[in-house]
Amino acid sequence: MLRKIRTTLAILSIAAITLLFLDFTGTLHHWLGWLAKIQLLPAVLAMNFVVVAVLVLLTLIFGRIYCSVVCPLGVMQDVVSWLHGRTKKNRFSYSKEKRWLRYGVLGVFIVAMVCGIGSLVALLAPYSSYGRIVMNLVRPLYEWCNNGLAAVAEHYDSYAFYTTDVWMRSLPTFVVAALTLVVLIVLAWRGGRTYCNTICPVGTVLSLLARFSWLKIRFDEDKCRNCSKCSRNCKAACIDFRSHTVDYSRCVVCGDCIGDCKFGALSYSHKIKSSHAATPSQPDPHPTDGGRRSFLVATAVATTTAALAQEKKKVDGGLAVIEDKQAPVRTTPLTPAGSLSARNMATRCTACQLCVSECPNGVLRPSTDLLTFMQPTMGYERGHCRPECTRCADVCPTGAIRPITREEKSSTQIGHAVWVQDNCVCITDGVDCGNCERHCPTGAIQMVPLDAQDEYSPYVPAIDESRCIGCGACEHLCPARPFSAIYVEGHEVHKTI
């Protein structure tokens, strides 16, 4: 019974959370967004005390059911392990808890969080690992299928599906996701819940509570015939049939052993006599004042660039070749409105990629900078941060991007535009342009003569930095290629204008 309930809930949960990462239309997060927000680490980072309290209570009552049902990475490993179990029975055996490894990793993890080494936190966070795997390895397949359907829909003049861009946001993050998947598959195939019980910091924290849970897997020593079946089928390797003990710090309450025992010696129950310890204070991984992160110091902005070659028109028709835009080197990287500051982003984000998967404008992508590795950063080559869109802030479960309204967003300055004279087509091509001025949503750009004394002076953009919010419409729509003649420089701390 326990097993059935567990597997049903686990399948629903992993399916829903996977869909959350796959959906690019921005509809599912209204219904499924809470699934990301009830993940333990994101809830702690978001200081979502209600969720944390509920999860703590749940673990104190039921044991580590979180690991069996809520955590998608755990469920994914169960699936792998189950596949192996179909061909090979009785493949596990009891092993001792590897305390030094568990607590060592947890220690490193907490230190990394306190010091704001987001990349290390991101690597170890289980839910984020799952997010990266789905976003990098499954999402493209999903999008290709969608694009197939969109082609069919187009054929029938239907607007039910539309084509979406399938593109690699960051190669290093893709590689990390692929490696994580391979390592997890190997570990889960060979040893079931090895990762969860030796490395996963969330598992370790929950194990501290699970030792004292009200309901536990318990032996009835009178019924047990020491057949060892339970031990040999425990994917957490936590049942010692000889001593009739279960290591509750590692048991994820999957319920497999209860059904496996032919003698009914195992039950999931509360022993009245067991002493109920006071709730231990839960380790507080809140980031406190850590070492201030230093960002990459100024690198000169690449300025030499060829504007789109003006082709001489001789015949009718044809399309001019468009060179792809390239991202400029930004002294301070951009983080989306709602993230408050680079530091808030660096300390809160676990790089789950949910915001990246939501971004409909091709703006968000994982950073390749070592200190903020895989955390979202922005680029405007494919689109700009549109004023009506708050999707990344809507979905972020950790508070790295705080919820924000459209009105707040349109007055939040995340950076400011910088004009690069050498690239501007008004000068290089001698044409009247003003596309940046026309598309600036805050009216921060006006076209002024380069030389006020010269009647024939070209008009070039003048930026009022105090009004600019850094949305990147100017950078995205600038006709200069591959480097725009106007680009956005990030601000470490966002401010309201």
Q: Rule CB under 8 A: say whether 389 interacts with other proteins.
A: yes
Residue 186-225 contact track with other proteins, rule CB under 8 A, x = bound: ----------------------------------------
- Using the rule CB under 8 A, which residue among 221, 284, 316, 407 binds other proteins? 316
Question: Smaller CB distance to other proteins: residue 79 or 153?
Answer: 153
Q: Rule CB under 8 A: say whether 45 interacts with other proteins.
A: no
Question: Smaller CB distance to other proteins: residue 103 or 162?
Answer: 162
Residue 146 CB, shortest distance to other proteins, in Å, is 13
Residue 477 CB, shortest distance to other proteins, in Å, is 6
Q: Please tell me the count of residues contacting other proteins according to CB under 8 A.
A: 34
How many residues are there in the chain? 497
Say if residues 184 and 76 touch (Cβ distance below 8 Å). yes
Q: Rule CB under 8 A: say whether 435 interacts with other proteins.
A: yes
Element spanning 150, H or E: helix 139-155
- Using the rule CB under 8 A, which residue among 141, 306, 431, 448 binds other proteins? 431
Strand partners, 378: 364
Residue 315 CB, shortest distance to other proteins, in Å, is 4
Q: 3-class DSSP state for residue 461?
A: strand
- Using the rule CB under 8 A, which residue among 221, 222, 284, 388 binds other proteins? 388
Distance CA 180, CA 169 (A): 18
Q: Is 412 left (phi over 0), alpha (psi -120 to 50) or beta?
A: beta
Question: Smaller CB distance to other proteins: residue 41 or 389?
Answer: 389
CA-closest candidate to residue 164, choices 366, 360, 382 = 360
Say if residues 253 and 217 touch (Cβ distance below 8 Å). yes
Question: Smaller CB distance to other proteins: residue 43 or 150?
Answer: 150
Q: Rule CB under 8 A: say whether 322 interacts with other proteins.
A: yes
CA distances from residue 43 to 108, 168, 447 in whole angstroms, order as listed? 20, 29, 47
Distance CA 431, CA 65 (A): 66
CA-closest candidate to residue 279, choices 23, 15, 57 = 57
Q: Rule CB under 8 A: say whether 163 interacts with other proteins.
A: yes
Q: Rule CB under 8 A: say whether 152 interacts with other proteins.
A: no
Residue 319 CB, shortest distance to other proteins, in Å, is 6
Distance CA 78, CA 192 (A): 7
Q: Rule CB under 8 A: say whether 407 interacts with other proteins.
A: no
Q: 3-class DSSP state for residue 219?
A: strand
Distance CA 387, CA 410 (A): 6
- For the chain, the straight-line distance linking the first and the last C-alpha, in angstroms and rounded, comes to 58
At residue 394, what are phi and psi to the nearest 5 degrees? -65, -35
Residue 305 CB, shortest distance to other proteins, in Å, is 15
Residue 322 CB, shortest distance to other proteins, in Å, is 4
Residue 393 CB, shortest distance to other proteins, in Å, is 14
- Using the rule CB under 8 A, which residue among 31, 34, 162, 263 binds other proteins? 162
Distance CA 443, CA 462 (A): 11
Residue 439 CB, shortest distance to other proteins, in Å, is 7
Q: Rule CB under 8 A: say whether 386 interacts with other proteins.
A: yes
Contact partners, residue 399, CB within 8 Å, separation at least 6: 42, 45, 46, 47, 48, 344, 348
Chain position carrying tokens 């709602």: 338
Question: Smaller CB distance to other proteins: residue 40 or 460?
Answer: 460
Strand partners, 352: none
Q: Rule CB under 8 A: say whether 155 interacts with other proteins.
A: no
Strand partners, 351: none
Distance CA 201, CA 73 (A): 13
Question: Smaller CB distance to other proteins: residue 277 or 315?
Answer: 315
Question: Smaller CB distance to other proteins: residue 247 or 475?
Answer: 475
- Using the rule CB under 8 A, which residue among 345, 433, 440, 463 binds other proteins? 433
- Using the rule CB under 8 A, which residue among 33, 104, 434, 449 binds other proteins? 434
Q: Rule CB under 8 A: say whether 456 interacts with other proteins.
A: no
Residue 274-313 contact track with other proteins, rule CB under 8 A, x = bound: ----------------------------------x-xxxx
Say if residues 328 and 483 touch (Cβ distance below 8 Å). yes
Q: Rule CB under 8 A: say whether 228 interacts with other proteins.
A: no
Q: Rule CB under 8 A: say whether 318 interacts with other proteins.
A: yes
CA-closest candidate to residue 195, choices 101, 55, 79 = 101
Distance CA 347, CA 211 (A): 30
Q: Rule CB under 8 A: say whether 379 interacts with other proteins.
A: no
Q: How many CB atoms lie within 10 A of CB 203?
A: 29
Q: Rule CB under 8 A: say whether 159 interacts with other proteins.
A: yes
Question: Smaller CB distance to other proteins: residue 290 or 362?
Answer: 362
Say if residues 350 and 128 touch (Cβ distance below 8 Å). yes
- Using the rule CB under 8 A, which residue among 86, 314, 453, 456 binds other proteins? 314
Distance CA 113, CA 109 (A): 6
Question: Smaller CB distance to other proteins: residue 14 or 488?
Answer: 488
User: What residues line the site for other proteins (CB under 8 A)?
Assistant: 154, 159, 162-163, 308, 310-322, 383, 386-389, 425, 429, 431-435, 438-439, 477, 479
